[in-house]
Chains A and B, each alone.
Chain A
Amino acid sequence: MDIKAIIFSGIALTGTAGLLWAGLTTADAERHDDPSGHEQEEVRSLTQQGDILPLEQILQEARQHHAGKVLETELETDDDRYIYEIELLDESGEVWEMEFDATTGKLLKQERED
């Protein structure tokens, strides 16, 4: 059999298996860390320093736009700005993604997820 084909197959197989394995195990590790995650600590210290508004305040604001259940919250940086990303399921079953400036609380963007 062609040695080139064997080498290429070997790379493809070990590479795919290795990457998928790494993806599975890393994802697990992250989920274990989550409850006391590094991110939450960062959010807390930024809030205490007054760099960003508390998440609770943003959530209240978000609920005024769309009453419903909050699915996910995330703090991100974008162009050196802090942004809260809120995902929310409203009462008619639509999922909304909203972005708030974390410093001023201003609503930057909202869109319906499809």
Chain B
Amino acid sequence: MPTRPIGWNVSEVAFAVMYVLVAVQALALGYGFSRRYLAWKQGRAYGPIDRIGERLRQALAVAFVHRRLIRPGYIYAGVMHLFIFYGFIFLFIGTLIVLLEADIVRPFFNASFYQGTFYVVYKLVINFFGLLFIIGLLMAVYRRYFQHLPKFRRSLSDDAIVLGILLFLGLTGFLLEALRLAATRDPYASIHWVAYPLTLALDGVDPSVLTAAHGVTWWCHMLANTALLVYIPASKLAHIFTGPTNVFLRATDSRTALPLIANIEEQEHFGVAKLTDFNWKQLANFDACMRCGRCLDFCPTFNTGKPLKPRQLIVEVGAYLDRQAGLRAGPAGPRLQEAGVTGHELVASDEPSLATVPKVEEIIGSVVSEDELWDCTTCRACMEQCPVRIEHVPLIVEMRRNLVLEQSRFPQELVMLFNNLERNGNPYSFPSSSRADWALELGVQELSQVEDPASLEVVYWVGCMSSFDARNQKVATALVKCLRAADVKFAILGKEETCSGDPARRAGNEYLYQILAQTNIDRLNAYAPKRIVANCPHCFNTLKNEYPQLGANFQVVHHSEFIRELIAAGRLKLPPKTLDDGRFAYHDPCYLGRYNEVYDAPRSVMDSAAGGYVELPRCRDRGFCCGAGGARAFMEEKRGTRISHNRLNEAVATDASGVAVGCPFCVTMFEDGVRALNIEERFAVKDIAEIVADSLSS
């Protein structure tokens, strides 16, 4: 009957030592993860953790189904991880089965299941997953060291240790099997179908040599196993536990809304300057990073050579956190002053790392540079791609809050932004009384002039860009034309409207944001609008998802959604178009797409109004920012190349004759880009409302 002698060629001493090693492994895991937990506990309060079932489902889906790992663009990396993960899991289960047979079933029940059909199936399955494990690891080695991806361009010693130990364990596992099969002349050797070819190769070698080699390999395998388990809590492998934990703990509204500073008037401390200013969940974020680099793939700052690299920010703060917790992490970046650069790169082992940095009072300036913090466009490309849901943007904004509200340290350009927002209720120098001037000629009514506001179908939230910027006033005019063509009864807030507060909030000025937001909420509440239509995704997101934090409850739609509704209801009749009439590439605005998952409505409008559109290579949740978000529209882009040019070049490289957008900030960035690249003659920038209005005219 097929089976194998458990503990063949393993001496009594070896068995005794093996269980000592088990204790050592447990001690290391217990110590390491306890130190991590104690470090997290130093953070501020977080919670409550609601919707437990949903959180659990998502954490399990990430861990076992690899839902966020295997997705378009990441098939290779996702399958690679799947192979390693399930290989590891099944080999672990296989070991438990052997222990169950040897230490419980045989001695306590005088029985055995580790034979016959069960044994055959067990061996076939374990060999399969062992092979999968090795294939996955080789795929990882190829990806890290031979694909020459920019995000892995430095040698990663932590990765080398992890992959090296895992590969060694996988290979010595099969070698052990082959040596035993060859030495014992096992008649059922062929069921070990992966190790079997090696067994055949060893045929003819003296059994005593095979036995001695088996003994040495067994010790090596066991010691490598111990090294791996001891290394887990101090390395990126900690993500085995911290990754799913982070998915479970994630902020459920982080997609759309920044955390509110409640009772802001009573606060004495704002944002994050020290590690202990983070809440404990945010501290857990830093330990969840597995350094896969997906956060970099669509990051506008990384891809245009700016200091901010989201992975590096997480890795470096995490390394500093681990160092403070008494754990030595993997590679970290050099201290800014030592490196002599702004911005970080992964470092080689001989370079200074954060593991040797003495304790600092504040992480801003020591571990994270101000340039990094101000470079972020808050586009959420990093958060969208992160398999374990690290929340980079809120972390960055928390540090901006500290710089702005506590230290008054922010880029010079923001002084003007904040002053204008305070004085004029808009980011520019225009008086608030001129906000509705663009609408005078069009005869658009302001809400204060409407006798019965309840009779209005929608309130059109114009936003600052479309109210004051000459180029974007054309977008507002086009939208008015569309609304009138569909016979929609609407009005604008006009002079009563102030900035939604988005740029202030993203720039870290939560105090100013709350003043602006409360003003708008009070004014809108006075009219109790049925629905609000916004053509600015930033306003749309703020009104829809962030004002509820201050007690508002408005029904807000983006103009692309509303136009689609009007077309679908037959209220807006557009003549049939084909792509030959003008091919526009569609650009996903971050605050519409990634923040609110409005991907289909603008595309549907493009289908109706332009006969289709050209899909850009980086689209939908993998879209590339225009560079304006996070109040970046009001700051100079001094570092690296221009983000808008990067995106425009992508659009120009298609056969499109222009780019269609659904955001006034994108319009402005691309118009500037088109002029700078000197392609105005052949490349147009249009809002989808303009495309619909053009279609109506034709």
Q: Do A and B come from one complex?
A: no
Interface on B for A, CB 8 Å cutoff?
none
